[in-house]
Structure 1
Amino acid sequence: MKLIPDKPFTYGDEDGDFYIQQVRRTKPFGRTNHDHPTYEIYYLAAGERVHFLDRRTVRLTAGDLVLVNKHVVHNASDLGPPEHERIVVNFSDAFLGAGHPLHDPLLLAPFARQAAVLRLGAQERAFAEQLFAKMVAEAAHERPGREVYLRLLLAELLLLAARHPADEPKDVAAAQSPLQRKIAEVVAHVNASYETKLTLAGLAGRFFVSPYYLSRSFRAVTGFTLIEYVNLTRIREARRLLRETDLKIIAVAERTGFDSAGHFDRVFKKLTGTTPHLYRKLNRL
């Protein structure tokens, strides 16, 4: 399929059972921080990008395949010239998860690290691009057995990823400036201490910078405001506790650093679109 620059080919809904989008961009473009209840496969066919994945910043080059687990916050931004081409596939558990006849635990193994970056060799890259091209061609035409074939192609792609060496290439981590190293320290502290009281002033004092400098720098490096990141980290853990434990909702709120059930409920609903009670009911393991 011939791509028109900056005009994506899209099939499906990003939070639905199966979604694929291919786009070649020539203008600056950045995806805001987001997560979704589906698995994501991101393939960079051309250009360079910077992604925030699972609380870290990574540098992607052409041929990199990224696998992002469900509910992992991530974003994308330009690295140098904005021109790039990428393909994104999202799929749900219903499409190829534990309840589907084609499912095998090996297929979802690459998602165990929350966000894995695979640097494909020449043969792997050619094979992956062939699979993506077949997916796009199949999605573009309404024919009998379309979903069956898309599942088969997706299973092949996941098997390719599962067989790839687990170790990430050493140059995936984005080269860090002193500012980025400082913000990485702040991120690590938030990740380890989200259940405690965290304020802009308190964190600025801990890391020997002014609140204004920390606020501006944190957003420039991560794409989040500091408070957004604190809340996202807390809600990520809250969702896990709601799914996996019998803790009362007020106890979940306390364990994740919220000072009241009302505050927890408001932030949870803002970030997930639902209440803690309903989230537990719909997602209980």
Structure 2
Amino acid sequence: MVRKTVYAPHYDFFIDQSKKTDVYNMDFFHMHKKYEIYYLLEGSRKYFIDDSIYLVNAGSLVLIDADSVHKTANMGDVPHSRIVINFSSSFIEDFSDELKAMNLTSIFKTKFTVLPLSFKYKLIIENILFKLVEIGSDDIELGAKATAEDETLPNAYKKTLLKLQLSELLIMIKEYLEILQQKEYESHQIVNNKVDKIIKYISAHYTEDLTLTSIAEQFYISPFYLSKIFKKSTNLSIIEYINSLRIRNAKELLESSSTKIADIAELVGFSSSSHFSRTFKLVTGLSPQQYKKYYSTK
């Protein structure tokens, strides 16, 4: 289904195609338990994924693993258009034992993140993507809890077609990855050595009481300069990145432990549970209570 949102936690699959003619930056980091395929049809974008920054040009695919922190940002004032797909592993694995055996989601576990497509694979993959957009354009609901009685027969057909097309897309990407591996290709990151060190420092200390001043002191620079170079390289604020790491840790604790939400907020570095709850919902689309209900194994 084509939707205005870029993430819908209640659905096993959705696809969104959009074109931005003005400067557009995502307002905040987000992360989710779905795999994401991002294809840039036109323009250039800066893509922040976990602790790396990538330049993405038209004709490139971006593969984002489940639970990865990510955000896109503009490159100057260049218009861009893109297609985004989110899906759960069960969406295709429950469809066929043969597909499950192929382990198609392994494409998200490699060192290849940004894939500039060759002419041949660009034609093949764009054709599949446009078919997926066309099939999903009637806004059918593919919720994880849907039953056979909930679906009309035409929607059941469309759901099967979406699974077939998505499976074909993943197979073609897997085939292309094997070609890139033979060529020893590596995804090119945008590198700023100072910012890279700052990111690694924050990644190691985000549960502590970090401030712009305390981080700046670690690198013998002013808070103003720290804020400036970090924002220039990532299109992010320092606090936004810190909070994204805290939320990722909180998600893991909500899933795998019986720790109280207020205690989790403190453990991951938030000064108050109310601030934690607001930030968590902003990043994930769910409140901590809702998230625990959906995903907790405890």
Shorter-chain TM-score bucket reads 0.7 to 0.9
Bigger mean CA offset, 105-114 vs 256-265: 256-265
Which has the bigger relative contact order, CA under 8 A and spacing at least 6?
A: 2
User: Which residue in the other structure is 2:165 paired with?
Assistant: 153
Deviation at 1:239, TM superposition (A): 0.7
Cα deviations by residue, 1:132-154 (Å, 9 ceiling, x for unpaired): 12223333469932221111001
User: Which residue in the other structure is 2:42 paired with?
Assistant: 46
CA distance in 2, matches of 1:201, 1:17: 42
Give the alignment of 1:129-208 within 5 angstroms: 129-140=126-137, 144=154, 145-163=157-175, 164-165=177-178, 169-170=185-186, 172-174=188-190, 176=191, 180-208=192-220
Q: In 1, are the aligned partners of 2:112 and 2:187 still within 8 Å (CA)?
A: no
User: Which residue in the other structure is 2:17 paired with?
Assistant: 22
User: Which residue in the other structure is 2:226 paired with?
Assistant: 214
- Tell me, which stretches of 5 or more residues in structure 1 are unaligned? 1-8
**TM-score where L is the length of structure 1:** 0.79
User: Which residue in the other structure is 2:70 paired with?
Assistant: 74
CA 1:227–1:78: 2 relative to 1, 3 Å: closer
Deviation at 1:205, TM superposition (A): 0.6
User: Which residue in the other structure is 1:60 paired with?
Assistant: 56
CA distance in 1, matches of 2:87, 2:289: 25
- Tell me, which stretches of 5 or more residues in structure 2 are unaligned? 140-152
Q: In 2, are the aligned partners of 1:32 and 1:76 still within 8 Å (CA)?
A: no
Query: Which secondary structure state, in structure 1, belongs to the residue aligned with residue 125 of structure 2?
Result: helix
User: Which residue in the other structure is 1:236 paired with?
Assistant: 248
CA 1:277–1:156: 2 relative to 1, 3 Å: same
Q: In 1, are the aligned partners of 2:73 and 2:235 still within 8 Å (CA)?
A: no
Deviation at 1:59, TM superposition (A): 0.7
Q: In 2, are the aligned partners of 1:12 and 1:20 still within 8 Å (CA)?
A: no
Specify the code of the residue in structure 1 equivalent to 2:44. Answer: E
Query: Which secondary structure state, in structure 2, belongs to the residue aligned with residue 88 of structure 1?
Result: strand
Q: In 2, are the aligned partners of 1:69 and 1:114 still within 8 Å (CA)?
A: no
**TM-score where L is the length of structure 2:** 0.76
Cα deviations by residue, 1:199-231 (Å, 9 ceiling, x for unpaired): 211101111111122223323322322122112
CA 1:259–1:155: 2 relative to 1, 3 Å: same
Q: In 1, are the aligned partners of 2:23 and 2:76 still within 8 Å (CA)?
A: no
CA 1:155–1:48: 2 relative to 1, 3 Å: same
CA distance in 1, matches of 2:28, 2:223: 22
Structure with higher helix content:
2
CA distance in 1, matches of 2:223, 2:131: 51
User: Which residue in the other structure is 1:90 paired with?
Assistant: 86
CA distance in 1, matches of 2:62, 2:112: 7
Deviation at 1:161, TM superposition (A): 2.2
Percent of aligned pairs with the same amino acid: 33
Query: Which secondary structure state, in structure 1, belongs to the residue aligned with residue 113 of structure 2?
Result: strand
Q: In 1, are the aligned partners of 2:41 and 2:59 still within 8 Å (CA)?
A: yes
User: Which residue in the other structure is 1:31 paired with?
Assistant: 26
Specify the code of the residue in structure 2 equivalent to 1:22. Answer: Q
